[in-house]
Chain A
Amino acid sequence: MARVVVDVMPKPEILDPQGKAVLGALPRLGFHGVADVRQGKRFELTIEGEITEEILAEVDKMAETLLSNPVIEDYEVHVEAHSVAEVAAEEGR
């Protein structure tokens, strides 16, 4: 099975209250030097069969139609070998 990842982020000019809340919490926990935090979403799509140009175009359409709202969000589609869970397992977390 192949994996395609869609990252969705609020557009730079759109206020991100959740990111701001995280930014405010970091110094209270002793983490310093973070200038800004923006919070977005990551979608891991497991695709049946090989990844082709057609499939990527289809995922792009999914991202534009449902996974993001183009009025307030930007998205990026990329092929990724490992899921976040697989990477975490490999690193023993």
Chain B
Amino acid sequence: MKVGVVTFPGSLDDVDAQRAVGIAGHEAVALWHGDEDLRGVDAVVLPGGFSYGDYLRCGAISRFAPIMTRVIESAGKGLPVLGICNGFQILTESHLLPGALIRNDHRKFICRDQLLRIENNRTPFTSAYSEGQEVTIVLKNGEGGYVADEHTLDLLEGEGRVVARYLEVNPNGSMRDIAGVCNERGNVVGLMPHPEHAVESLTGPGTDGLGFFTSLAESVFA
């Protein structure tokens, strides 16, 4: 599969995401924020980092980048889109995902190997996991506190749209320990931890993150 990885000015993890896509057996396609062409990709990853310097609000400026018009349009037609960290923030600012991400409640940047539970394995990015599987994935964020109103949180839980939840510690004050959510259709997934940093045992806590990228093939051939 061809998986597009968008680079915004200030993206940090685009190259790692491209690498993870390759290790998972797909072809990574570099996409530029200023382009309006998705170059025929089968899925899109919005990587982590500090796009546009986090000016105004994290993801607020990126959301209006020319490529995002295409991403939003295609996501509406079912294109699988994964937003990691800053990518998750861009997806909430785009209203492709509900809620928002605010500064960590403890006000410090956090970087740790985080235990998660995969609660929804019916998305194009989580089908390689079993429901309830516990995985360790790198988390690094300053503004990762997931917030939404009670009604939205109940709706997400009721529809099984909490994709991943923090276990053992809540690292950033996220409501109901939410680490990742998906849209109603399930094709758009936002995740605060970084699976692209957990695909090789040499440079991460393990390879638990690889499933986010191998899932794509399984969901297509399923």
Contact = CB atoms under 8 A, between A and B. Distances in A.
Contacts of A15: 102, 105, 145, 147, 173
Contact of B60 (A10, A13, A69): A69
Interface in B75-129: 92-93, 98-100, 102-107
Contacts of B147: 14-15, 71-72
A8 to B, nearest CB: 9
Interface of B: 56-57, 60, 64, 92-93, 98-100, 102-107, 145, 147-149, 173
A18 B103 contact: yes
B104 A17 contact: yes
Given A15-B145, A66-B56, A71 B100 contact: yes
B148 A17 contact: no
B58 to A, nearest CB: 10
Interface hub of B60, B93, B102 (most chain A Cβ within 10 A):
B102
A69 B173 contact: no
Contacts of B145: 15
A84 interface: no
Given A15-B147, A66-B56, A71 B104 contact: no
Interface string A65-87: 01101011000000000000000
Contact of B102 (A14, A20, A66, A67): A14
A14 B60 CA distance: 18
A55 interface: no
Contacts of A10: 102
A21 interface: yes
A17 B173 CA distance: 11
A71 B147 CA distance: 9
Nearest to B93: A69
Q: Which 8 A-B pairs have the closest CB atoms?
A: A72-B100, A71-B100, A17-B103, A17-B107, A69-B57, A21-B107, A69-B100, A15-B105
B190 to A, nearest CB: 13
A17 B145 CA distance: 11
Given A69-B93, A71-B99, 10 more contacts: A13-B149, A14-B147, A17-B104, A17-B105, A17-B106, A21-B107, A67-B56, A71-B92, A71-B148, A72-B102
A69 B65 CA distance: 17
A67 B63 CA distance: 13
Contacts of B105: 15, 17
Interface in A1-24: 10, 13-15, 17-18, 20-21
14 contacts: A10-B102, A13-B149, A14-B147, A17-B103, A17-B105, A20-B107, A21-B107, A66-B56, A69-B60, A69-B93, A71-B92, A71-B147, A71-B148, A72-B147
